[in-house]
Amino acid sequence: MIDHFNKQQWLNYVTDQVSDTDRLEYEEHLYTCEQCLLTYTQCVEEMTSTLPVIENEEDISKQVMNSIQPKETKQKLIHKPLFQYVVAASITMVLMTSGVFQQVAMQQDQFEHETQDKPPVSQELTNKISDFLNDLPTNLRGGQKDE
């Protein structure tokens, strides 16, 4: 492998006058050699000065932007509100005719009756504590001994 490529070789690389295999070799060499990287950047800068100057850059950019057609996107059927309403109504009708809503209402009524029959948990807890305290001997409660 060559230690360094000369300026003419880098100019040939920049102007695309090298073979593909040589191009790969040049590119790999750029990763490891700082001196050749500097020579390469100098060649690129020299080549940019030889490029023609573009006049009316704004006009050209406007022409390019105007030539780009906006992409027309079609809204998918699944994203259309009418389709969503039809699907929701269909599901509602199926659930109504199958009796799902009636079963849910019956279970809710049954649950309400079960919860109304039971006393509140706080009431049960208060009763148990009260019974426990009543069962304690009087001397443990801080009262007088029975004589």
* Exposure string over 20-58, b if 16+ CB within 10 A, otherwise e: eeeeebbeebbeebeebeebbeebeeeeeeeeeeeeeee
Tokens linked to 70? 């906006």
pLDDT, tens only, 56-103? 888 888 888 888 877 777 778 888 889 999 999 999 999 888 888 888
- Domain extents for the chain? 1-50, 77-137
For residue 3, pLDDT beyond 90: no
Give the residue, 115 or 106, on which the prediction is more confident.
106
pLDDT of residue 21: 92
Helix (H) or strand (E) holding 19: none
pLDDT of residue 147: 47
